[in-house]
C-alpha cells in the first residue's frame, strides 16, 4: 500500500467506522484500487447523476468501507457519515444502496449481480451514443465463484463490449482454486492482465489501457 | 387466431420501434418473433444467449440508464431461475422492467416438469412493488404490454397457449364485473374465465375477472362481492396463490373461500394442456364438480 497523504486521510475515514460488516480484508484490499480509480474517473460529486459521467459499479458489495471513504473523500457526502456506518441514523449500510448513498450506482451485496448489470450499462451507454464514457465494475476472486459472473464475462467477451472494464481484486479469498484469473478472462475474449494491486502507477496505467474488447485489470493484493 | 405469445412479441416490436427508450433482452427464445427489433436497432435489442440470470442483470443495466427493458423467455427460466435478480436488481433497486413469459403452468405438458411453472406467480408475487398480469386473450395481451412496459415497476406478464373463448373489454389493473348474482362470488383469472363461466351454469353468481393478479383489485372485490359468504377463486396457477389477497379484501365480512388452481405437485405424465386439465380437475366438469360440492 502506498501511503500518500490521500491514503492516510482515507485510512482515517475508514477508522471512524465500526461493525462486523467492515470486512476489513475486503476494505483494505480495495482501497488502493478505488483511490486510483477515482483520481481518473469522470464523475461530478455535485451532480452524481450527470449523464456524461463514467460509471463505477461495486459488484461484490462487500467491504464497502474503502468505497465509502473514497466517495466521502471526493465529496459525494460528508465524512461524518462514516462514523454512522451501519447505524439507524446513517446512510452507509453493510452493503451499499444506490437509493441512499450519493455516488453509488448499484445496490449490491448479494454476489454475482454487479457484473451482469455492468454489461447492461455498457450496452445502454452505447445505445445512447455515449461513446467516450467507460463502465468500470469491481469484483473479486471470491465473487467470481458465482456463475452469473461467468455468464456476463462470456457474453461481454463475445459482444466485444470495449467500453467495459472489470477490476478483479485478487486477495486470495476464494476457496475455489481459480488459477490465473487473467488467463481465464483472456480465454473468454477479454483483454486482461494482472497488476500489483498496491502499485498506484501500475494501476493507473492498467486503467488507461484501452482495447477493441472488454478489458480486465486483475489487481493482486 | 393470433396466439398470446405471438401477439405479445408483436406488441413488443411495435413499442420498441415507436419508443427509443425501450430495450429488448432475449435469452435465445422467440428470436424469430423479435427479429424485426434487432433489425430496427441492434444496440438495444440484445440476445444475451442462454443465460437467464445475466439476461435480467443486463436488463437492469439498461433500466439504470433510463431504458424500459423488456425481457422474454420461458416461464420457469424467467420467473424461477433468476428470481433473485428480479428481486434485487429490479425490486430492491426501484427499477422498472417488463418480463414476458411463455409456457404457463403446464402449457408444455408434453415436455415434462422441467418446463412447467405453476409457481411462477407465487414466487414473483413475493417481491414488493412487482405487478403480475395474466391475460386471457391475445387482444388483452396486446393492451397490457402497451399499458405496462413503461410503468416504472417490475411487471410480469404471463402468456399462455390457453385462451378464453372471447376477449372481454378489460380495465387494466382492475377487476372486471362479468355478471352479478346473489348466491356466490367467483374471481376467475386470465384464461380460466371461459371454463369457469361454463362451470357456473345454473348458479346465480357474481363473476369478477382478473387480468392483474398482483396487486388484486381489492376495492372492486369488496364492493362487488355477492351477499353470500361463499367465495370461489379460480386461477391458472398454483392453488391458493391469490387466496391471501382475496381474504384480505374481504376481511370486513364473513367469507368461506374455495381456491381452485393447479395442484401443488410435480406432474409426471406427458400430454397436452387439455389432458392435464382433465387429469387435474381443471376442465369445465372438474371445476363444476368442486363448486357444486362447495355451495351444496
CATH for B121:
3.40.50.970
- A to B CB pairs, distance under 8 Å: 101
Q: Are residues B183 and B282 in the same domain?
A: yes
Amino acid A2: pLDDT: 61
If residue B247 lies in a helix (H) or strand (E), which one and from where to where? helix B243-249
Average pLDDT over residues A109-124: 98
Of B133, B158, B183, which one is at a domain's C-terminal end? B158
User: Is the CB of A119 less than 8 angstroms away from the CB of B94?
Assistant: no
CA dihedral defined by B22, B27, B28, B34, rounded to 10 degrees? -10
pLDDT band at B238 (very low <50, low <70, confident <90, very high): very high
* Chain segment B80-137, per-residue pLDDT in tens: 999 999 999 999 999 999 999 999 999 999 999 999 999 999 999 999 999 999 999 9
Average pLDDT over residues A167-188: 96
Same-domain status, B25 and B128:
yes
Cβ neighbours of A151 in B, within 8 Å: 48-49, 51, 53-54
Distances (CA, A) of A129 to A133, A143, B55, B67, B89: 9, 31, 22, 13, 24
Asked if B140 and B58 sit in the same domain, the reply is yes
- Judging contacts by C-beta atoms under 8 Å, the chain A residues touching residue B44 are 123-124, 127
Alpha-carbon distance A52 to nearest alpha carbon in chain B (angstroms):
11
Phi and psi at B157, nearest 5°, equal -115, 120
Same domain for B270 and B150, yes or no, is: no
B254 shares a domain with B201: yes
Q: A48 and chain B: CB distance < 8 Å anywhere?
A: no
User: Does residue B53 form part of some domain?
Assistant: yes
* Grid coordinates given for A47: 451532480
Give per-residue pLDDT as tens, B169-195. 777 778 999 999 999 999 999 999 999
Question: Minimum mean pLDDT among A1-5, A189-193, B30-34, B140-144: which range?
Answer: A1-5
CA distance A28 to chain B (A): 27
The predicted-structure confidence for B132-154, as pLDDT tens digits, reads as follows: 999 999 999 999 999 999 999 99
Shared-domain flag, residues B153 and B90: yes
At A219 the pLDDT is 98
Per-residue three-class SS string for B172-205: CCCEEEEECCCCEEEEEEHHHHHHHHHHCCCCCE
Q: Report the gap between the CA of B84 and the closest CA in chain A (Å).
A: 9
Q: Clarify whether residues B41 and B147 are in a common domain.
A: yes
**Does one domain contain both B50 and B139?**
yes
Give the model's confidence band at A19: pLDDT under 50 very low, under 70 low, under 90 confident, else very high: low
- Asked whether residue B167 is assigned to any structural domain, the reply reads no
The 3-class secondary structure across B38-85, one letter per residue, is HHHCCCCEEECCCCHHHHHHHHHHHHHCCCEEEEEEEHHHHHHCCHHH
Domain of B115 in residue numbering reads as 4-158
Looking at B123, B158, B193, the residue that finishes a domain is B158
Which of A97, A124, A131, A152 is the best mutation test for B, with the most CBs of B within 10 A? A124
Q: Which pTM does this prediction carry?
A: 0.96
B21 and B153 in one domain? yes
What three-state secondary structure class fits A187? helix
End of a domain among B158, B185, B201?
A: B158
Number of neighbours of residue A146 by Cβ within 10 angstroms? 19
Residue B276 has pLDDT above 90, yes or no: yes
Q: Could you tell me the three cell numbers for A188? A: 473468454
A126 contacts B56? CB cut-off 8 A: no
pLDDT tens-digit profile of A45-69? Answer: 999 999 999 999 999 988 799 999 9
Percent of the residues in chain A that have a pLDDT greater than 90, as a whole number: 86
Give the range among A22-31, A131-140, A212-221, B262-271 with minimum mean pLDDT. A22-31
- Give a yes or no: residue B170 inside a domain: no
Same domain for B105 and B195, yes or no, is no
Nearest CA to A57 out of A118, A103, A113 is that of A118
End-to-end CA distance of chain A: 9
Q: What number is the average pLDDT over the span A80-106? A: 96
Q: At what angle do helices A114-128 and B52-64 cross, to 10 degrees?
A: 50
Residues of B in contact with A100 (CB under 8 A): none
Per-residue pLDDT for A4 more than 80?
no
The pLDDT, as a whole number, for residue A98 is 97
**pLDDT of B121:** 98
With CA atoms as reference, the chain B residue closest to A99 would be B93
Q: Which residue has the cell 406432474?
A: B267
What per-residue confidence (pLDDT) applies to A18? Answer: 75
Q: Is B168 inside any structural domain?
A: no
In the predicted model, is pLDDT for residue B156 greater than 80? yes
Nearest residue of B to residue A118, measured between CA atoms = B61
The yes-or-no verdict on residue A90 having pLDDT over 70 is yes
Q: Considering just the CA atoms, what is the radius of gyration of chain A in Å?
A: 16
Q: pLDDT band for position B1 (50/70/90)?
A: low
Domains of chain A in start order, with CATH, are 5-220 (3.40.50.970)
- E-only strand ranges, A27-106: 55-58
Q: Do the chains contact at A113 and B44, CB–CB below 8 Å? A: no
Kindly state whether residue B163 falls inside one of the protein's structural domains: no
Strands (E), chain B: 22-26, 45-47, 68-74, 97-102, 131-133, 154-158, 175-179, 184-189, 205-210, 212-214, 230-238, 256-262
The total number of structural domains in chain B stands at 2
Chain B: residue whose CA lies nearest to A149: B54
Tell me whether residues A151 and B54 touch, CB distance under 8 A.
yes
Strands B131-133 and B212-214: antiparallel
- Asked whether residue B129 falls in the same domain as residue B13, the answer is yes
Q: Is residue B132 part of a domain?
A: yes
In terms of Cα–Cα distance, which of A196, A221, A219, A200 is closest to A4? A200
Owner of C-alpha cell 413503461: B150
pLDDT confidence of residue A1:
57
Q: Are residues B179 and B154 part of one domain?
A: no
B165 in any annotated domain: no
Work out the mean pLDDT of chain B and round it to a whole number: 96
pLDDT at A23 over 80: no
The ipTM (two decimal places) reads 0.96
- Determine, yes or no, domain membership for B259: yes
Amino acid at each position: 500500500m502506498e501511503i500518500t497523504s490521500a491514503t492516510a486521510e482515507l485510512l482515517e475515514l475508514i477508522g471512524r467506522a465500526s461493525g462486523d460488516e467492515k470486512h476489513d480484508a475486503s476494505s483494505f484490499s480495495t482501497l488502493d484500487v478505488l483511490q486510483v480509480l477515482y483520481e481518473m474517473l469522470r464523475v461530478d460529486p455535485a451532480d452524481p447523476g450527470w449523464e456524461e459521467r463514467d460509471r463505477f459499479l461495486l459488484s461484490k458489495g462487500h467491504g464497502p468501507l474503502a468505497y465509502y471513504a473514497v466517495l466521502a473523500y471526493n465529496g459525494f457526502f460528508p465524512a461524518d457519515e462514516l462514523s454512522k456506518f451501519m447505524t439507524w441514523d446513517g446512510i452507509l449500510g453493510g452493503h451499499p444502496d444506490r437509493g441512499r448513498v450519493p455516488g453509488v450506482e448499484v445496490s449490491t451485496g448479494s454476489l454475482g449481480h454487479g457484473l451482469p448489470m455492468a454489461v447492461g450499462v455498457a450496452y445502454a451507454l452505447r445505445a445512447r451514443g455515449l461513446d467516450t464514457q467507460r463502465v468500470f465494475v469491481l469484483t473479486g476472486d471470491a465473487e467470481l465463484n458465482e456463475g452469473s459472473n461467468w455468464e456476463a464475462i462470456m457474453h461481454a467477451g463475445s459482444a466485444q463490449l470495449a467500453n467495459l472494464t472489470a477490476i478483479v481484486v485478487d486477495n486470495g479469498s476464494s476457496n475455489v482454486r481459480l488459477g490465473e484469473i487473467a488467463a481465464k478472462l483472456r480465454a473468454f475474449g477479454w483483454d486482461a492482465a494482472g497488476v500489483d494491486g498496491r502499485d498506484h502507477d501500475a494501476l493507473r496505467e492498467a486503467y488507461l489501457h484501452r482495447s477493441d474488447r472488454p478489458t480486465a485489470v486483475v489487481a493482486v493484493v | 387466431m393470433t396466439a398470446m405469445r405471438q401477439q405479445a412479441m408483436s406488441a413488443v416490436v411495435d413499442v420498441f420501434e415507436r419508443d427509443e427508450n425501450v430495450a429488448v433482452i432475449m435469452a435465445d427464445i422467440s428470436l424469430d418473433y423479435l427479429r424485426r427489433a434487432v433489425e430496427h436497432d441492434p444496440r438495444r435489442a440484445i440476445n444475451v444467449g442462454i443465460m437467464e440470470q445475466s439476461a435480467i442483470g443486463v436488463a437492469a443495466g439498461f433500466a439504470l440508464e433510463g431504458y424500459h427493458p423488456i425481457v422474454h423467455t420461458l416461464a420457469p427460466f424467467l420467473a424461477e431461475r433468476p428470481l433473485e435478480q428480479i428481486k434485487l436488481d429490479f425490486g430492491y433497486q426501484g427499477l422498472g422492467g417488463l418480463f414476458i413469459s411463455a409456457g404457463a403452468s403446464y402449457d408444455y405438458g408434453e415436455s415434462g416438469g422441467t418446463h412447467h411453472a405453476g409457481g411462477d406467480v407465487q414466487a414473483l408475487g413475493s417481491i414488493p412493488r412487482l405487478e403480475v398480469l395474466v391475460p386471457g386473450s391475445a387482444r388483452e395481451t396486446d393492451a397490457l404490454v402497451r399499458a405496462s412496459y413503461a410503468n416504472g415497476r417490475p411487471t410480469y406478464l404471463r402468456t399462455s397457449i390457453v385462451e378464453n373463448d372471447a376477449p372481454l373489454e378489460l380495465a387494466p389493473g382492475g377487476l372486471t364485473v362479468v355478471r352479478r348474482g346473489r348466491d356466490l362470488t367467483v374471481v376467475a383469472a386470465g384464461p380460466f374465465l371461459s371454463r369457469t363461466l361454463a362451470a357456473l351454469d345454473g348458479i346465480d353468481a357474481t363473476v369478477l375477472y382478473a387480468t392483474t393478479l398482483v396487486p388484486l383489485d381489492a376495492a372492486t372485490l369488496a364492493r362487488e362481492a355477492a351477499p353470500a359468504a361463499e367465495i370461489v377463486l379460480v386461477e391458472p396457477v398454483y392453488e391458493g396463490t391469490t387466496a391471501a389477497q382475496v381474504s384480505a379484501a374481504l376481511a370486513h365480512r364473513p367469507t368461506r373461500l374455495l381456491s381452485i388452481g393447479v395442484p401443488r405437485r410435480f406432474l409426471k405424465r406427458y400430454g397436452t394442456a387439455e389432458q392435464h386439465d382433465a387429469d387435474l380437475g381443471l376442465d369445465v366438469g372438474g371445476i363444476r364438480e368442486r363448486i357444486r360440492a362447495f355451495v351444496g
